[in-house]
């Protein structure tokens, strides 16, 4: 989400072809879709880690290894 991508291109196209009002509604739709996707992804991951101690331990070890690698 840090750099312009397909979402930006769609909003730009809508803005140029149909005006500001439609571009704002397009942006709201894209934001709603992204928020919904993030919500169900986080809930699914949360349920996985809640039900599996091994998966949560693996995540913690992976995070620790990543931080150690960055430290080196």
34-66 pLDDT tens trace:
999 999 888 888 888 888 899 899 989 999 999
User: Which residue ranges make up each domain of the chain?
Assistant: 6-71
Note the pLDDT of residue 63: 92
- Count the residues in the chain: 72
Decide if pLDDT at 2 tops 80. no
Interatomic CA distance for residues 30 and 24, integer angstroms: 10
What confidence tier does 1 reach under pLDDT thresholds 50, 70, 90? low
The pTM of the full predicted model, rounded to 2 decimals, is 0.63
Q: With helix as H, strand as E and coil as C, how does 16-42 read?
A: HHHCHHHHHHHHHHHHHHHHHHHHHHH
């Amino acid at each position: 989400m840090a750099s312009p991508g397909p979402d930006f291109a769609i909003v730009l196209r809508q803005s140029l072809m149909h005006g500001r009002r439609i571009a704002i509604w397009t942006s709201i739709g894209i934001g709603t879709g992204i928020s919904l996707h993030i919500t169900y992804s986080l809930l699914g991951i949360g349920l996985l880690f809640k039900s599996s101690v091994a998966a949560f331990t693996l995540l913690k070890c992976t995070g620790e290894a990543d931080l150690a690698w960055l430290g080196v």
